[in-house]
Amino acid sequence: MAMSSADNDLLTRVENGAAMGEMIRQHYWLPAIPAALLEADGRPYRVRLLGTDLVAWRASDGAVGILDERCPHRGASLALARNQDNGLRCLYHGWKRNVRGDVVEAPNHGGDQATFCAHLRLNRYHAVERGGIVWAWLGRGDNPPRFPELPFVDLPAERRSVTSVEVPTNWVQAVEASMDSSHVGVLHESTSQIAAGGGGGNQRLLMNQALAPKLEFEDRPYGYRYAALRAIGDGQVYARVNHFVMPWYGLICAPTADGPSTAFFSTPVDDSRHRAWFVHFNPGRPLGMTVMSASPDLWNFPPLPPGRAEDNWGQNRDLMRRGHATGFPQHLGTEDFAMFISQGVIADRSTEQLCSADGAVLRVRQALLRSVREFVAGNVPTLADNPALDYRNIRPVGALLAPGEDWRNLGGGTPA
């Protein structure tokens, strides 16, 4: 059954007090910026999350902070501020804020500055640096939710890479794609061949042999894990076991046995834009140079499609005539972005005609809608906080199964 327009709005909208945005704001940490971009006493970066304009910065002592972009005095942008002496000082009148969000100096106030500053109405946000990312909690109160101890956050820097880019569509389209296994053998056919060097050693190439995988699911306290099972002959089955972690994480198995896994997550900038994050990580050894780690720009990579709708977003039809599957050779992510953009800024799910391959996408929607309805009812969403919730046991894995072998025994099969 197609989704109603009302449910589509509930699922996708995050601005101006929308229920989904308020649920995320209160119960989840949001990735804000790659940590490597922030330098002590360096420039503040403008960041927009859930329709809120913010700045991210690193103080003199190395601590990170997230503040409202507008100075609480007269609204000048703190992206222009001087960053010195463990504070951001507004260029307009010199008000200074620390990483906790306090105003510690208001030099143009003629009375008792300390008393004056202590009584200002301010938004204070929590910020932490983990896994090469600066994260923000934008909720109310002094008790942030538990931090998602995903498998990359405590790895040494040489075992992970982080890149990010803003994409001009709603966030849910991208989250759905991270769990859509059946598109990989079609959309990324040529990308997989290129990554494998034209040979057959990359397990991702096996997805090109069976475009209608059988999907099997297992609920987890954070969302679900599922296997996309592809029969490839001689009684063998190629199983890809990936995880959906609320509210936007796709943990995707490595294309080779000892290769790097990927965490895809797409966070809402506002209703019409999202920031796509790509974390490539290898728990077992240094990552080395990969298509992801060789990024020339941590804040704007992978590249967006190079054109506009009038020229099919820059699709190279000549390259397609020479055998490329999509005409977007720039990057695997570029191919995905072209699909999201072609769906429209906010996809209309009321007109879809779904098939057997869409079970994982439907479960993403169900998890999000169930959680936001629990929030609207005044409850803490079950998938946001419960005694069994443990992010540390999440392990995506891909493998060839022998006849009769159960995919649930792969990758630490006991429930998390």
Domain boundaries, the chain: 29-137, 157-409
pLDDT tens digits, one per residue of 113-130: 999 999 999 999 999 999
Cα angle 368, 267, 126 (rounded to 5 degrees) comes to 100
pLDDT of residue 78: 98
pLDDT tens digits, one per residue of 129-188: 999 999 999 999 999 999 999 999 999 999 999 999 999 999 999 999 999 988 988 999
Nearest to 411 by CA among 137, 220, 158: 220
pLDDT of residue 206: 56
Nearest to 303 by CA among 289, 314, 312: 314
Nearest to 368 by CA among 227, 240, 244: 244
0.85 exceeded by pTM: yes
How large is the angle between the packed helices 5-12 and 359-376, nearest 10 degrees? 80
Q: Which residue has the tokens 């190395």?
A: 62
Sites in the chain below the pLDDT cut of 50: 198-202, 413-416
Contact 56, 66 (CB under 8 A): yes
pLDDT of residue 199: 45
Cβ-based neighbours of 285, under 8 Å, separated by 6 or more: 159, 258
CATH architecture of the domain 29-137 equals 3-layer Sandwich (2.102)
CA distance linking residue 161 with residue 138, whole number of Å: 25
User: What fold, for 157-409?
Assistant: Naphthalene 1,2-dioxygenase Alpha Subunit; Chain A, domain 1 (3.90.380)
How, if at all, do strands 87-89 and 96-97 pair?
A: antiparallel
Cα angle 332, 335, 338 (rounded to 5 degrees) comes to 150
Neighbours of 286 (CB within 10 A): 11
